[in-house]
Structure 1
Amino acid sequence: MAKTNPGRFFEDYAVGETIGHAVPRTIGAGERALYHALYPARHAIYSSDAFAQACGLRASPMDDLAAFHTVFGKTVPDISLNALANLGYAEGRWLRPVWPGDTLRSSSEVIGLKQNSNGKSGVVWVRTTGTNQHGEAVLEYVRWVMVRKREQGSAAPEPVIPDLKPALEAGDLMVPEGLDFSGYDFELAGEPHRWGDYEPGETIDHVDGVTIEEAEHMMATRLWQNTAKVHFDASARPDGRRLIYGGHVISMARALSFNGLANAQMIVGLNAGAHANPCFAGDTVRAWSEVLDKAETDVPGIGALRLRLVATKGGAPGALRGGDGKYLADVLLDLDYWALVPI
């Protein structure tokens, strides 16, 4: 009897089933140091206990995307080991901070299935929840992936396509308990810009670029225990190249966005996301943001900005799609998220 895990294929999923993912992961100061070594991450709440405490938190929490990558990585062996592409995200919410020393685990509910017309693959929608050692949900999101079929001629399930929100509303966002920006130190944060200084339609060029290194990508993907073959095994792709984990591009772009959005301190909502084109070692990632919307939260002094974060290989800020409606070839990432900003 085979004891190794070949991963799930499209035929192995059923709408309504819940998948508990191995292996729980305790994360701490070491992961924070590695995250800040891998990316030019320097948002103040995630860099300084003293700054975080001045903002009403008990200490500096783990970076929001470090928590996301940890929860996401747990799901890969069951959801995307045999995936052809990670297609999108929706309804992502950071529900409470993750603190150094917390142990995270993940589970996913299958909420949609649809076989592709070629009969070789299908799309699987899952809602993933990350919980801490107390059983408290810290993060939830929906993603959908294109997964290979084991046998092309096998029967297709009845298609079920979930009805997902195009974007979260301000009332859906969770402001961490105790967060208070009334004494916010703009000098220490790095920029003077408040919530009121941003307007929908505004485009921000984040100026800087970082060339992706194979070794750093490999270290990051192992750090999150992401086991997808295309990230490690050069023979897993026809072109013989290792694909850069999409989360690596997300974190790189978010870190680059500090220049212009230093006070967009905490990501609390993920509305949508697309990995528009593949990224490989040697590509230089740049980023720009568009302000899509803004809203006040239930907590005085704390506003939310809805931002489109675009990572490119050098395209002009604001350039996203061609005349045919498709993403331009140099666009790597199109991410729509909500972040908390002092008013």
Structure 2
Amino acid sequence: MKKALISIAFGLTASLLATGASAQATLNSVKQKGFLTCGSNTGLAGFGLPDAQGNWTGLDVDLCRAIAAAIFDDPSKVRYIPLAAKDRFTALQSGEVDVLSRNSTMTMSRDTQLGLDFPAINYFDGQGFMVRKKLGVSSAKELNGASICTQQGTTTELNLADYFRANNMKYEVVAFATSDETFKAYDAGRCDAFTTDASGLYAERLRASAPDDHIVLPEIISKEPLGPAVRHGDNQWGDIVRWAHNAMLNAEELGVTKANVDQMKGSDNPEIKRLLGTEGKFGEAVGLTNDWAYRIIKHVGNYAEVFEKNVGEGSKLKIKRGQNALWTKGGLQYGMPIR
């Protein structure tokens, strides 16, 4: 009996040690490599897009830059891996990328069946439709019998089927493997309408041969909470990704920006002190330095700065904050407290 108990105790201890080691696997791997591997879009303006020199910009890109800043104090220590929709989750599951930051919708099946976690929602979106003005359509409910271009391996296919079935309408789906192929087919006139997340519609319209000839219809037919994904089971890594987003939200709410973050380190506000690491040891709890959030804001900015630069009304996309405004301004973005 004594030997059996010793054996059980040893087994439990070994299991706990293995779990602890596993829980730190991604952060340790990133530190050893010296860079973060970020699964990104193949090219979506405002969210993830490389220029001719290979420099990446976008809302999702800036989240990866924020994570790198928190770890290395250097937002440039990121390698971007462009992933098509059908390949993105496999690349994360296999360890090809450390984090997937690629306008991916959190759904129950993805959260529970793919071995993934979605630590944060960095953009609340919904699926819509774009058509040519000459089609004479002002509502999605006028698309009965239309041909619709959509991308394979995305939630848009299911949403499309649900919407037309619910409204007792017929349609013809014209599906392609990549978003680039899908939009090019629509722009070439191979279908009557193009459907994807509303943010993607505004981004893709910029690439049209005649952007002003197209309109985005008013209907939003789904909920698309977009956010980064990580592998299930690595809780420490999930915490780092989650709190990188929360740090940018809290910074916006507290009025801490790239321009004034150094000045704000002298603030007497306890929330700001905890955010910037001058009080408490919150960074140590996730394997980072205590100025982890200061690094994010100093190098990348708060959420408002990142949103406005990439997709906001001051950008080419000219998207209003809407649901992505802070909760204090009628939106859904709510930074969890650092305490």
More helix by percentage: 2
User: Is the pair's TM-score, using the shorter chain for normalization, greater than 0.5?
Assistant: no
TM bucket normalised to smaller: under 0.3
Structure with max Cα Rg: 2
Give the TM-score taking structure 2 as reference length.
0.24
